[in-house]
Amino acid sequence: MSAPGDEPRAEGEQQPRKRRRLSVIGLLGELLITAGMLVLCYIGWQVWLADIITGSQYASQARSLSQKWDAEEQKDPTPAPTSSATAGPSGPAGTTEDVPVGTAPTKTADVFAALIIPRFDTPADPHFYRPIAQGVSNTQVLQKKGIGHYPTTGMPGAVGNFAIASHRTFYGGALHNVPDLRLGDHIYVETQAGWYMYQFRNLQYMPPTEVQVLEAVPEQLGVTADDRVITMTTCNPLLSTKERMAAYGVFEKFYPRAGGAPQEIATTVQAKG
Amino acid sequence: MYAALWRVLPGPWWVRVIILIVALAAVLAALVFWVFPAISPLFAPSDPGVST
């Protein structure tokens, strides 16, 4: 860009003006600089801004779904178990009935649950809240809904494995901060019935073909499960799809919807916007 | 190109600067909310799930 202040120069006042108007090279140069700026803007948007924008859209979707479930609960209260059920790590038979297990949606991309992980709250996303849809098709589910549920795995709270997938960055990047999880961190899966609380156990790094992480007992082929676990798979390293990462959690407690959201996530569930 | 743009803008220099800032903001908003989301599937990362 030329400032007008450049013009009253003693020698060759006429010539630079003329050259500027006629120069094809100059025009080409300006176009190339513009194109370069556009590419930089795109990269900046994709890496830093897009996930914040998409993430907040997903959060408000999850929140309005939760409010819809609340309204349905008030209209037609389910005969909830008298007290919130607990299951020890060994999952004794007596507690199995206390944890309701929903049926999986039959339609791909149907949203049937939501994910709340307080550890993932950031200044840009103060109340991490994401819908979970059925299926892991990249184009139908993961790019459109954010988090997908492996349809071959169990439902939240069921004995066995509840496995979900998400992009690490782009499309909301729900599992961007997976390496920040610490032992015992709470992972809540919300369904119409209530909130299933899992506790983070460990991370695993693996090749993209490691489908054994989806087994009822992850990495144990043909073993009958007696634990309830959650497996969250995403890409590793950041901005690459060379490896996969799995984060595991073990079921700890169920909070029925009738009793309201647990204290820890009450603000997330009720926050506006 | 930009020199010509500067010349065709009306008013004193500070009016032109304001016009350019507003135009730049409009262009950036259009890029962020319409253009970039529309072209981003072209550069989409592959499936992040596990599969054989």
State mean pLDDT over A25-35. 93
By three-state DSSP, how is residue A161 classified? strand
Give CA–CA dist B13/A71, Å, rounded: 58
A6 to chain B, any CB pair closer than 8 A? The answer is no
Phi, psi of A16 (to 5 degrees): -60, -35
Size of chain A in residues: 273
Nearest partner of A146 among A168, A162, A161, A124, judged by Cα:
A168
A236 to chain B, any CB pair closer than 8 A? The answer is no
Residue A216: the pLDDT is 94
The amino acid at residue A66 is S
Handedness of CA A123, A124, A127, A130 (dihedral sign): negative
Q: How many Cα neighbours within 13 Å face the side chain of B49?
A: 22
Is 90 exceeded by the pLDDT of residue A14? Answer: no
User: Of residues B37 and A130, which shows the higher confidence score?
Assistant: A130
Give the model confidence (pLDDT) of A132-163 as tens digits. 999 999 888 998 899 999 999 999 999 999 99
A29 to chain B, any CB pair closer than 8 A? The answer is no
Give the model confidence (pLDDT) of B1-52 as tens digits. 888 889 899 989 999 999 999 999 999 999 998 999 888 888 776 777 787 6
Give CA–CA dist A90/A70, Å, rounded: 32
- The confidence band for A272, taking pLDDT boundaries of 50, 70 and 90, is low
**Residue ranges of domains in chain B:** 2-33
Please judge whether A45 and B36 are an interchain contact, meaning their C-beta atoms are less than 8 angstroms apart: yes
A261 to chain B, any CB pair closer than 8 A? The answer is no
Is 80 exceeded by the pLDDT of residue A209? Answer: yes
In chain A, pLDDT over 70 holds for what percent of residues?
A: 84
State mean pLDDT over A216-220. 94
- The confidence band for A15, taking pLDDT boundaries of 50, 70 and 90, is low
Residue A186: the pLDDT is 97
Quote the tokens at residue A200: 């983070």
Residue A91: the pLDDT is 43
Chain A nearest CA to B41, separation (Å): 9
Q: From residue A67, how far is each of A220, A260, A273 by CA, in Å?
A: 38, 11, 12
Residue A94: the pLDDT is 41
Please judge whether A1 and B2 are an interchain contact, meaning their C-beta atoms are less than 8 angstroms apart: yes
Q: Which residue in the set A30, A49, A211 is minimally distant from B1, CB to CB?
A: A30
A40 to chain B, any CB pair closer than 8 A? The answer is no
Domain annotation for chain A: domains and CATH numbers:
46-77+86-270 (2.40.260.10)
- Cβ atoms within 10 Å of A199's Cβ, excluding its own: 17
By three-state DSSP, how is residue B13 classified? helix
Residue whose pair of structure tokens reads 């059925």 in the numeric block? A134
Give CA–CA dist B15/A61, Å, rounded: 42
Give the model confidence (pLDDT) of A85-118 as tens digits. 444 444 444 445 579 999 999 899 999 999 999 9
* Interface predicted TM-score of the whole assembly (ipTM), two decimals: 0.87
Nearest partner of A56 among A107, A126, A8, A108, judged by Cα:
A126
User: Of residues A7 and A139, which shows the higher confidence score?
Assistant: A139
Please judge whether B50 and A206 are an interchain contact, meaning their C-beta atoms are less than 8 angstroms apart: yes
Residue A63: the pLDDT is 95
Q: Are A134 and A105 in contact (CB under 8 A)?
A: yes
Please judge whether B49 and A41 are an interchain contact, meaning their C-beta atoms are less than 8 angstroms apart: no
Please judge whether B50 and A209 are an interchain contact, meaning their C-beta atoms are less than 8 angstroms apart: yes
User: Of residues A231 and A83, which shows the higher confidence score?
Assistant: A231
Residue A20: the pLDDT is 52
Beta bridge partners of residue A187, listed in sequence order = A198
Q: Are A155 and A104 in contact (CB under 8 A)?
A: yes
Residue A79: the pLDDT is 62
Q: Which residue in the set B3, B44, B50 is minimally distant from A143, CB to CB?
A: B44
> Which pairing describes strands A228-236 and A194-206: parallel, antiparallel, or unpaired?
unpaired
